[in-house]
Structure 1
């Protein structure tokens, strides 16, 4: 069980936690395959493969396997076509999940520092946050290119803690995939997940985060009171959630 430490900042995942980017990604994948004169791919598969960065996603789409790898020559062409198509869409279909804006506003009013750590490129992550009008809530945005290793490595969380001058266990991680849980555990951070995240089509409860929320609208209340009991879900107990030593700026 994680130590009962006062949480002083919150680290959010972007894709599948704050923002639904799936439609833009799926449309870019469709255009890439068409440009390469390859058959189209079920969009549900593409959606389930989001979360490990663009390079990994392109390999998956071109190989049609979650662990697939294609030759470098094909990957380079496919990656260029995918990024061009994705950028051309300019995040037209990206939208905040219900409850996200209310959550961020409450935490901002309480002066809780917030950070985004994502496997997306930093520039693309900033573009999405600006377009959706929520970039001002975040002190830092750390993308794949700003880190030595992407999630599930804890590098992004450790870098965020360093830049905020906090201990890692003073960060609360909020994500939606097993990568977020594994990164948080490796860094020593408490972790909460949303039930709707991009997680390869697998229920996030199997990854045993400290708590699972159906909407981020309930997250500020969770932070304020902490949880002293194990989360109860249809899959059974997932372990004790970290109890906050003090409420954040009541």
Structure 2
């Protein structure tokens, strides 16, 4: 018999195709320093570990010798000031997201978000897509002292939602999601439609090719 539980979703590359807005802001930062643009594909590889890690990757790629003056702290601040107010200008929910969330809720599941994205941006996005009321908790990259892949981030999100690790499934597309789940003794579902390497599926308990498969795959993990 299938039981209800807590479904915790990553955001970038899982709920949301956020790459267009993130890449747009990255290119604006580079242009302000006289640096050439980078491709969406290059930026895609920088997503998943939070804004500080994104900026560190960007500096290594575009200004490794420091000649352009890309300072990590200043670039993080510049990125957040650009990205937060326009995080939904080009970004879109992945197909079937709203339907999948509603299906889980109809089956008695509680929903939460665990993202390395800053909370202001995460809430702005959820509000813009009218998703905020669906989630019992939002554990963002600055909500706790730790961030994914640290299990404390996921465990804190679960606690805020009133859930228990044994009845939780983490859905995400990157290794920080899967490692946080493993460290929390939480089952994991790899979001194969997202930004992660398909090989990451080997680290998850199950894999889904699209949002339409998520409710069935999630519920099967707690049978």
TM-score (norm 1): 0.80
Deviation digits for residues 135-181 of structure 1 (CA, Å, limit 9, x no counterpart): 21101111011112111111122112323443312111111111111
RMSD over aligned Cα atoms: 2.3
Among residues 20, 23, 27, which one is paired with 2:20 in the alignment?
23
**Bigger CA drift: 128-137 or 203-212?**
203-212
Tell whether the 8 Å contact from 2:18 to 2:87 is kept in structure 1 after alignment. no
Among residues 150, 165, 168, which one is paired with 2:165 in the alignment?
168
Among residues 66, 79, 82, which one is paired with 1:82 in the alignment?
79
Q: Measured at CA, do residues 108 and 165 of structure 1 come closer, stay the same or move farther in structure 2, by a change above 3 Å?
A: closer
Structure exhibiting the larger radius of gyration computed from Cα positions: 1
Q: Measured at CA, do residues 158 and 70 of structure 1 come closer, stay the same or move farther in structure 2, by a change above 3 Å?
A: farther
- Structure 2 residue 154 is the aligned partner of structure 1 residue 157: yes
Tell whether the 8 Å contact from 2:151 to 2:181 is kept in structure 1 after alignment. yes
Q: Measured at CA, do residues 173 and 88 of structure 1 come closer, stay the same or move farther in structure 2, by a change above 3 Å?
A: closer
Distance 2:190 2:129 in 1: 22
Tell whether the 8 Å contact from 2:59 to 2:70 is kept in structure 1 after alignment. no
- Structure 2 residue 116 is the aligned partner of structure 1 residue 111: no
Tell whether the 8 Å contact from 2:191 to 2:209 is kept in structure 1 after alignment. yes
Among residues 26, 42, 67, which one is paired with 2:39 in the alignment?
42
Tell whether the 8 Å contact from 2:174 to 2:200 is kept in structure 1 after alignment. no
TM-score (norm 2): 0.90
Q: Measured at CA, do residues 166 and 206 of structure 1 come closer, stay the same or move farther in structure 2, by a change above 3 Å?
A: closer
Among residues 194, 202, 211, which one is paired with 1:216 in the alignment?
211
Distance 2:33 2:212 in 1: 42
Distance 1:69 1:53 in 2: 23
CA shift at 1:196, angstroms?
2.1
- Structure 2 residue 48 is the aligned partner of structure 1 residue 55: no
Tell whether the 8 Å contact from 1:7 to 1:172 is kept in structure 2 after alignment. no
- Structure 2 residue 125 is the aligned partner of structure 1 residue 122: no
Aligned to 1:230: none
Q: Point out 4+ residue stretches in structure 1 off by more than 6 angstroms.
A: 68-73
Which structure 2 segments of 5+ residues have no match? Answer: none
CA shift at 1:222, angstroms?
2.4
Residue aligned with 1:191, SS: strand
Q: Measured at CA, do residues 90 and 163 of structure 1 come closer, stay the same or move farther in structure 2, by a change above 3 Å?
A: closer
Distance 1:73 1:57 in 2: 13
- Structure 2 residue 5 is the aligned partner of structure 1 residue 8: yes
